[in-house]
Amino acid sequence: MARDASFYSLTRPWALVMWAVLAAALATSIVSLGSAGTDADVLTAWMPVAVVALAAYAVWLTVVNARRAVRAAMPPETIVWVELGERALLIGADKRRSEIPYDEFQSIRAGRDAVLLKVRGASVVTAVPRPLFTDEDLATLRARIA
């Protein structure tokens, strides 16, 4: 589930802008390194490494935060359930229960391990284990959210 949530986070519009800026910075630093030749100073020489390290750090941080969020919402050994009601999606984990009206969701994305429900007006997504939904449930959910 954390993998699906991480991929979702790393492909959001602002994340795509970040990737474009990092790619431009990498290309610029490589070009300037090539044009400086042997006269390149230390900063110019280390800039491509720094850009790649920054990109790797962004991926690592996103994955760590996704794993932490999934573990906090659904600790190991937690029984998670979901029910499609007439007007709301009911989600439960152990003794906690949430009833979220369908109009609170902006979109749905079904990954291999998780169904990600984007909350309207927030940067929050609700991750629910994919095995809890049948293909028919997903079609119904998509129709009610759209």
pLDDT number for residue 22: 95
pLDDT number for residue 39: 61
C-beta separation of 105 from 119 below 8 A: yes
**Lookup result for tokens 């940067």:** 123
pLDDT above 70 (res 1): yes
Once rounded to an integer, what is the mean pLDDT over residues 56-60? 96
User: Concatenated DSSP letters for 68-137?
Assistant: HHHHHHS-TT--EEEEE-SSEEEEEETTEEEEEEGGGEEEEEE-SSEEEEEETTSS-EEEEEGGG--HHH
pLDDT in tens, 84-117: 999 999 998 888 888 999 999 999 999 899 999 9
Once rounded to an integer, what is the mean pLDDT over residues 39-68? 87
If pLDDT is split at 50, 70 and 90, which confidence band does 121 have? Answer: confident
Q: What are 9's strand-pairing partners?
A: none
- pTM of the complete model: 0.74
C-beta separation of 82 from 132 below 8 A: yes
Task: Give the strand pairing for 96-101 and 105-110.
Answer: unpaired
H helix or E strand, kind and range, residue 117 = strand 114-119
